[in-house]
Structure formats: structure tokens, C-alpha cells
Amino acid sequence: MLSSIRLSFAFLASLVFALVSPDAFAGEIQEISGETMGTTYRIKWVEDISAESELKQLVDDRLEEINRLMSTYDPTSELSKFNAYQKSDWFPVSDETAMVVQAALDISELSGGAFDPTVGRLVRLWNFGSDPRTNAAPSQEAIDEALKSVGYQFIKVREKPPALSKSNPMVELDLSAIAKGYGVDATIQLLADQKILNCMVEIGGEVRVSGTKNGAPWKLGIERPEALTQSLHATVELADAALATSGDYRNYFEEEGVRYSHTISPQTGKPVTHQLASASV
């Protein structure tokens, strides 16, 4: 599970992957697509099934279920209710939410805090969350105040019964950097349950493939990190693997000639500044 997790400083923007088709297929490739998690999804598979509309409904229902658990844009979601809960006792959640939060905390530990799901207040402060977008950089005082609630060590997870707690009542979790990857994994499992074992699932640029495409690896393209054009930088071949990419060239705003990207450092409370345009894992 969770093979599509990305290592990053904060939540990662959706990156459109161009799917590169080979010149010829041994069998017909079927496809469905739709919208989820504020972006789009696309699924391709090889196995011949007749009820594509039924499969699409199953996928839509499964992704909507995950959205109801982990969305920061839905005030009624499980995660939003936890973020609004300003107490330190255990807050009951679903098994899935507990599992994803624990995975996020594990990655936070492994990355020395470079990845931190408690940047929710900073994400909103910098115009990349559910609040209305102002395209204005916050004051240093506001950043310092939000940083007081950032720290993955504030969050604890209980498995049975599943629950979350926060020692700092102002902490806000943001699972945007991991929830889409989990959605991809959950969709792959749903397809496997439907006997679809050779497939490709993509949600907002998070990709996982199962099996092969008529005996050959699935070919995917990594987009060149340029804001105004869409062209391929490289292609990769995958079989039973996942690919995720993040860059600073799609989700950003500019103020007085300065570009602020969505990738927020939990150490400084500000968008990271460096020469790296894109990274793939």
C-alpha cells in the first residue's frame, strides 16, 4: 500500500503526465476518466470487460469515499473535523485515515521533518489551501504564529480503535501530499478485485501501473517543467511500479516580481527557494 507516496516539503501540486502510447497494441486498451480531489483521474486497462459504466461508478464511489475522509476542502470531511477539534484527547477516525496519517508521520521521521503533514495552517496562509486566494505573501508575524502549530511530533495515532490526537490544539493536518497517492493505491486494489490486473491509474499526475500493457511495460512521459508549454522531458517504462512528480511551475503565484511556489518548508514557514524545477520519484 501507499506506493505512490511522495517525499516533499508540503503538499504537492498535481502534475499532468502525458501518456505515451506505443505504435501498436496487441489488444484493445480501454479507458475511463473523471474528476476527483480537485483534479482529474484516468484509468487504462487491457482486460476485456463489458460494463465500463459500472466500473466507472465503482471508481467514482471509492474516490469520493476517500475524499470524504481526507479532504481539507470539505468542511464535513473527517480530517476537517479533526482540524477544527481544539482538544488534546483522542478523536475517533476511520481505519483508512489513521493508516494514512501514520504513514505521513513515518515519512516525516525518515525525512528529518522535511515532509510534515502539520503544515495545514501555513498552506492556507500562503494561498494554497481552502481559504480564498489573495495572491499576497503573508507577514512574518503571521508566519511565525502559524509555525507554532507546525510539528509532526504534535500528532499521535492510535490503531485500535482508530483515533488521532494532537498535543497542540491549533495543529492542522494537510494530507494533500499523500492522499492522492493513497487514492491511486486504493483504485489499483479496486481494479484487482474486479480481476483487472494489467492497468494504469493516474490521479492528478500520481501514477501507478499493475502488470503490463500486452506484455510490454507501460510507457509514461514526464513533462518538461515549463509553465507555459506542455512538452516531454523524458519517458519511463513501468511494470508493477509507481511514479510521482512534483514541480514549482504549475501551482504558484507572483507578487512584485517574486514567484511563490506551493512547496512550503516546515522549517522556515515559507515556499522553498532553489534551482530545482521538478523531481520524480
For 98-132, write each residue's pLDDT tens digit.
999 999 999 999 999 999 999 999 999 988 887 78
Residue 50's pLDDT is 63
Q: Output the pTM of the full model.
A: 0.84
pLDDT digits (tens, 9 = 90+) for 176-227: 999 999 999 999 999 999 999 999 999 988 999 999 999 999 999 888 877 5
- Among residues 75, 52, 29, the alpha carbon closest in space to that of 218 is found at 29
Quote the CA–CA distance of 69 and 77 in Å, as a whole number: 5
User: Do residues 198 and 46 lie in contact, with contact meaning Cβ atoms separated by under 8 Å?
Assistant: yes
Phi, psi values for residue 137, rounded to 5°: -70, 140
Distance CA 189, CA 183 (A): 10
pLDDT surpassing 80 at residue 152: yes
Q: CB of 115 within 8 A of CB of 104?
A: yes
Three cell numbers at 255?
A: 507578487
What's the pLDDT band for 19 if we cut at 50, 70, 90?
A: very low
Q: How far is CA 227 from CA 232, 258, 279, in A?
A: 13, 15, 15
Q: Using an 8 Å Cβ cutoff, are 93 and 68 in contact?
A: no
Query: Three-state DSSP class for 96?
Result: helix
Sequence-ordered list of residues with C-beta below 8 angstroms from that of 266, at least 6 positions apart, any chain:
9, 10, 113, 114, 116, 118, 119, 122, 150, 151
pLDDT at 9 over 50: no
34 alpha-carbon distance from chain centroid: 16
Cα separation values, 233 from 14, 172, 212, 221, 222, Å: 17, 36, 23, 7, 6
Please tell me the predicted confidence (pLDDT) of residue 114: 93
First to last CA, the chain: 16
Pairing of strands 252-255, 258-261: antiparallel
